[in-house]
Amino acid sequence: MKARSNKVNSSENIIAMTSKQDRITTAQGTGSQYDIRNSEDGLGTCAWILVGLSYVLCALTLPFSLCVTVKVVQEYERAVIMRLGRILSGGAKGPGLFFILPCVDSIMKVDLRTVTFDVPPQEILTRDSVTVSVDAVVYFRIFNPIISVTNVENARYSTQLLAATTLRNILGTKTLQEILSDRENISHSMQAHLDEGTDPWGVKVERVEIKDVRLPVSMQRSMAAEAEAAREARAKVIAAEGEQKAARSLKEAADVINESPIALQLRYLQTLTHISAEKNSTIVFPIPVELLRLMKNRAERGGGTSTSTDF
């Protein structure tokens, strides 16, 4: 019986330790999400006395105390209320009407709308050792007012500094050609890095855009000269290819004319047709080569005198 009771006691101890460990793990998970320590602990005796005195003060000064105790937040705002340094249970208040206690409650309003800021131009040395000046624009919003107040002193300023640092780190691993031609992927990479870094602050980075990439004047001149030389080289290659094709076509035409001598006379007639279409007053008709060849043949057969007579 004694051994059985010891086993039962040990089992109960193990179960109690396990449940305690589960509660600690749950509390740590909640703390990691909001990072608010001892937020569920009750106020001390002195604190409750101060809260009671604040209630009495509000009751004695009615209705004038309503000007201090009644607060309103807009639809796009949330109010984080701290009572004697502790955040009230229930999270952020709003939108709408709510009450606070004078002297013991402090209120901080958090704007949930999307905020835009420009990242100042950053002088960046690219992977291929080119110095460029790059600026960007970042869109972000606060999705958790509680941790944006408790985890970081100034969420907007911290996000701006992190955006400038992330821009320099990411573009430092890219070449100049990648920066100029692959801005969309660079923007997505910056957004992912910023969103991961600002998540513990309750900030959601919605969009990052690279605005402008400015090159030094000497680099601009070098790139312009390189582009001009490339265009001239392409123009020369195209002209050479045209000359090659034209020479090949002329060779083929000469071969056809050589096989059929009458084709040359047809070309003469076509030339005459084109000339007559120009409305010129004088038309020059070349002597066919075949006629000159025929006269030469007669001269060779008949001799020089007879050739002169025949002519």
pLDDT tens track of the chain, all 311 residues? 434 444 444 444 443 444 434 443 333 343 444 444 444 456 678 878 888 888 888 888 888 878 878 888 888 889 988 888 888 877 788 888 888 888 888 888 999 999 999 888 888 888 888 888 888 999 999 999 999 988 988 888 999 999 999 998 898 888 888 888 888 888 899 999 999 999 999 999 999 998 888 887 777 677 777 788 888 888 889 988 888 888 888 888 878 777 776 776 777 677 767 766 666 556 555 565 566 666 667 667 765 444 443 43
Report CA Rg, the chain: 46
Give the C-alpha distances (Å, rounded to integers) separating 295 from 258, 299, 304.
20, 6, 12
Q: How far apart are CA 275 and CA 277, in angstroms?
A: 5
Helix (H) or strand (E) holding 213: strand 203-214
Give the global pTM. 0.59
- Please tell me the class of the 115-215 domain: alpha beta
| Sequence ranges of the domains in the chain | 44-111, 115-215, 220-272
Q: Considering only CA atoms, which of 252, 163, 172, 241 is closest in space to residue 209?
A: 163
Q: Considering only CA atoms, which of 134, 120, 117 is closest in space to residue 203?
A: 117
β-bridge pairing 131-142 and 115-125: antiparallel
Cβ atoms of 211 and 137 within 8 Å: the answer is yes
